[in-house]
Structure formats: structure tokens, C-alpha cells
Amino acid sequence: MAGWLEALRLTRRTLGGLFRGSGTASRAASLEELEEQLIRADVAPALAADWIKTVGRAESVKERQTLLREAMLQSLSAEEGFNWDPVDKPQVVLLVGVNGSGKTTTCAKLGFQANSRKHRALLAGADTFRAAGTDQLRIWAERLGCEIVAGKQGADAAAVAYDATEAALQRGYDYLFIDTAGRMHTKQPLMTELQKVRRSIAKVKADAPQEVWMVLDASLGRNAIAQARVFHEAVHLTGVVVTKMDGSSRGGFVFSIFQELGIPLRLIGLGEQENDLEPFSKVQFVEALLNQDEPSE
Ligand SMILES: Nc1nc2c(ncn2[C@@H]2O[C@H](COP(=O)(O)OP(=O)(O)OP(=O)(O)O)[C@@H](O)[C@H]2O)c(=O)[nH]1
Ligand SMILES: [Mg+2]
């Protein structure tokens, strides 16, 4: 398991060891350089400018570092994680996003998390676009020992989601995690299909899906924010999962999820294995961004 420090290595490198050599003012980056580095790591320019204003008050490099840490933490709102107490069964989580963002892997990771908490989870493969759309999830389900309901290629994704919700309800599952096909936010018919999927779940259980999570690929940086905005308008997101943080040098966009979208970042993917999914921790995130205990690269 990669861990936060390892996963944020590339973004940290983009930040260029912001305060390396703290204490010796001569080696500290100028404010202008600092701002550039933040923007290079995909921190929104307006936010970076705000922080720089705050940090500019510092009288020492050490104080500058403290002020930036505080400003970063303040820019991230309260952590919500995910409530692993299935009060109202089944808790239905619908995973949506553009192609290749990590939906299927995240669905499997959620099944693993439920299993390891001794909850009963059902996985649903509603990616009926491609011939092999549900194969990947089937393989995961077998490996994890999770039950799965999956549609055939060309089947109506809304009907698969309906059947899966009914199965989860009737068979007393605690959680239902529904994987959907990747879709570009610019393709209106596909966004309409997603609305239909959402409605069909609610026909079985009026308050479901309790969660609709957008899975965002961290390597897209700030571009992911624009995608999420369109999905939010279409299906009302209740959370975001950021994947592939371990392969991204643009982790600074995470601040924009809170600042610009106002949607909680629930979980973060730190690798490809089933246990590489963590609740988002703002302290761990900021500490990993600013960590200096490693040699320069
Ligand atoms: N390094 C890393 N790779 C990940 C992570 N999450 C997913 N991946 C990889 O990203 C690739 C795409 O993941 P999928 O889960 O298939 O993505 P998807 O959104 O289901 O893709 P489509 O169904 O084609 O839209 C796979 O190779 C995954 O192993 C992560 O957190 N870190
Ligand atoms: Mg998939």
C-alpha cells in the first residue's frame, strides 16, 4: 500500500520542495516562485494568489511554512469519509465518471472495504456499453468473494441498476456499489442515460441511491473539475473519489474540489490494489505535500 507520503511524491516534486532549507532565508523560494510552483501543481491561480498574500506576512521561512500549512488546511472543508454503518439497508452508492477514471477499480475496492468490516456488499456491473464491460468487475468480485449482478452488453443500464437494487433489498445486503460505463460529460445522451439510471434505483427504494460519487482521475488535474461540474448538474453528486493520486503531479487540484464544487472529497485512491483506498484526510494530505524529509530530486 502506497500511503500518503509516497502517493503525493510527484505533486510534491512539482512543488519543488517549497521550503527546503527552511531557516536559511537565502535558500527559500521567492514569493513569486512559490506562487508559480503552486500553480504548476494545479492549485487554482486565484487560490494560490490568496495564499501568497497570507504567506507574504511571514517574517521567516519557518513562519511562511506555518502560514501556508494553515492556509492549505483552511481551504479544505471538514472531512466526511464514508459512514460504514449501514443504518438503512441497503446503502446504494452509484459510481459515475468519464472513461478510465477508475470507477470499476473503486467499486471493487469498496466491496473489499465492506467485506473487511464484515458487511455484506453486492456489486453491480451496469457498464453495458462494451462487450467486456462487466468482465473486469466479475474478476474482481470472484477474487474478493463478493456477489455480483451484471448486465449483458447492450442491456439497458437503468434496468441493470433496478434489478441490482431490488436484489440488494430483497436479499438483505448492507451495501450495493454500482459501477457504470465511462462517459464523456460532453455527450448529452449519455448524461441523460445516467439520470435514468438514478431514477430507476429510486423506483425500488425512494431514498436511493444515498450516494452518487464522481470518480476523478488525479492525473487530469484541474480539468477534472470541469467534468465534475457537468456531472453534478446532471445527477447531483454527493461526493467525489479521487483516484491515481499516486501517479499524478497535479494533486493541487484537490483544493478546487472544496473551493469550487462544494462537494465533499470522500475517498482517495493511492494505488491499484484492493486496499489502496483511504478516507480523505486533510492533515495527511497537506503534510504529505509539504513534507521535507527526503533528499532533493
Ligand atoms: N495507480 C493507480 N491506478 C489506478 C487507481 N485506480 C484505478 N487505477 C487504474 O486505472 C486504470 C483504469 O481503471 P478502471 O477502474 O478500469 O477505470 P474505469 O473508470 O472503470 O474505466 P472505464 O470503465 O473504461 O470508463 C486501471 O488500470 C486501474 O488499475 C489508483 O488509485 N491508482
Ligand atoms: Mg470500468
Question: How big is the CA angle at 149 (ends 146 and 152), to the nearest 5 degrees?
Answer: 135
**Res. 296: pLDDT tops 50:** no
For residue 26, the model assigns a pLDDT of 42
Quote the CA–CA distance of 235 and 253 in Å, as a whole number: 22
Please report the atom of ligand 1 found closest to the CA of residue 179: 20
Confidence of residue 19 (pLDDT cuts 50, 70, 90): low
Nearest CA to ligand 1 atom 22: 100
C-alpha 296 – ligand 1 centre gap (Å):
30
274 lines ligand 1 (CB under 6 A): no
The pTM assigned to this predicted structure is 0.94
Nearest CA to ligand 1 atom 26: 102
The fourth-level CATH superfamily of domain 91-280 is P-loop containing nucleotide triphosphate hydrolases (3.40.50.300)
Quote the CA–CA distance of 285 and 136 in Å, as a whole number: 30
104 lines ligand 1 (CB under 6 A): yes
With both helix axes pointing from N to C terminus, report the angle between 103-116 and 135-144 in degrees, rounded to the nearest 10.
Answer: 20
Q: Within 10 A of 38 (CB to CB), how many other CB atoms are there?
A: 26
3-78 against 91-280: fold identical:
no
219 lines ligand 1 (CB under 6 A): no
State phi, psi for 239 to the nearest 5 degrees: -175, 170
**pLDDT tens string 82-116:** 989 878 899 999 999 999 999 999 999 999 999 99
**Cell numbers at 254, concatenated:** 484537490
* Ligand 2 ion local residues (Cβ < 5 A): 103-104
**pLDDT tens string 262-280:** 999 999 999 999 999 999 9
Domain segments of the chain: what residues? Answer: 3-78, 91-280
Instruction: Answer yes or no: CATH 1.20.120 is held by domain 3-78.
Output: yes
Give the CB-side neighbour count of residue 110, counting CA atoms within 13 A: 34
